[in-house]
Amino acid sequence: MLRIGICGTENSHAEHFIRHLNQEGRHAGARVTALAGGSVERNRSLAHAGAIDTVLDDADELIGAVDAVIVCDRDGHLHPRRAVPALRAGLPVLVDKPLAATVAGAEEIIAAACSDGGGLLASYSAVRLCAATAQLAQEAADPPQTIHVAGPADPESPHAGLFFYGIHHVEAALELAGNPAGPDAIADVQVFRGKHTLTAVAELTAGPRLLIDFAIPTTDQPIGFHATVVRSTGIDARPLTLDADYNAPALSRFLTAIADDHPPMPYDQLLTPVRLMEAITAQL
């Protein structure tokens, strides 16, 4: 059995992973067997729901107790300190979005995965992996000229500000652009502030222009994600809808990657969203 440990359990995504693995048994031979963060009410509730016997005080204690780790902390600033020790110990690690809240943090995580004996690394936004994003990326043979992604994000979020939700827009846009990689993939970024919006215009060195609108919520009314792809042959626009199982694709890809012993995405492609987000937030 593949024993999986979760840290950052305050995130609702921890419930999703426990539901898929322990309660629904979607992946035979894989199960959440340990939680980190101490015996707080949240962990006691999750342990009861998932029939999890082991609750540890610190994420580092997962090393030696499990075979893989899922990092769920909402604040991306915490991700390097959670992921790096596990990766250096050779454990596969799935880092919930964002990979990190700084380029330096993302590079530290990737360096740990690439170190001698380092564990396999995966990290995704659920919006990147939703069905509508895949459909937009595949429906036309001609390359996109402009990609527009819009959705909710709060630059004042306590969870690393714009990174917390803004990474969804950026990962989806880059997925639609073919996942450019490398330190020079992004040629220029400009940010414009409206009353309740932030708009980023990113020019890629080779690829379409990206228009990214971050709608700052002012009420409790939900704001969805939308994308528009402009090609020479037409325009396709649609909502990027997340269903109740929106974390299931990331989990499936992670477990498949472990079975195949091969990272699900090249690591240089994991850096580009963080580079773009850092360029955007530097102008706020």
Q: Over 70: is that where the pLDDT of 139 sits?
A: no
pLDDT at 95: 98
Which part of the chain has CATH 3.30.360.10? Answer: 127-244+277-281
What is the three-class DSSP state of 8? coil
Q: d(Cα 91, Cα 142) in Å, to the nearest integer?
A: 40
The answer to whether the beta carbons of residues 24 and 4 sit under 8 Å apart is no
pLDDT at 142: 86
pLDDT tens-digit map of 234-270: 999 999 999 999 999 999 999 999 999 999 999 999 9
Token couple for 21:
């693995």
Q: Over 90: is that where the pLDDT of 140 sits?
A: no
pLDDT tens-digit map of 193-243: 999 999 999 999 999 999 999 999 999 888 999 999 999 999 999 999 999
Q: Over 80: is that where the pLDDT of 163 sits?
A: yes
Cα–Cα nearest to 173, from 240, 95, 254: 240
- Element of type H or E holding 111: helix 103-114
pLDDT tens-digit map of 32-85: 999 999 999 999 999 999 999 999 999 999 999 999 999 999 999 999 999 999
Q: Are strands 186-193 and 225-231 parallel, antiparallel or unpaired?
A: unpaired
CATH architecture of 2-124+245-266: 3-Layer(aba) Sandwich (3.40)
* Region 134-160 average pLDDT: 92
Could you report how far apart the first and last alpha carbons of the chain are, in Å? 47
CATH class of 127-244+277-281: alpha beta
Which part of the chain has CATH 3.40.50.720? Answer: 2-124+245-266
In the chain, what percentage of residues exceed pLDDT 90? 96
pTM attached to this predicted model: 0.96
Q: Provide the mean pLDDT of the chain.
A: 96
Lowest pLDDT segment from 19-28, 94-103, 135-144: 135-144
Q: Over 90: is that where the pLDDT of 127 sits?
A: yes
Q: d(Cα 210, Cα 153) in Å, to the nearest integer?
A: 17
Q: Over 80: is that where the pLDDT of 141 sits?
A: no
Cα–Cα nearest to 62, from 125, 9, 137: 9
Q: Over 90: is that where the pLDDT of 152 sits?
A: yes
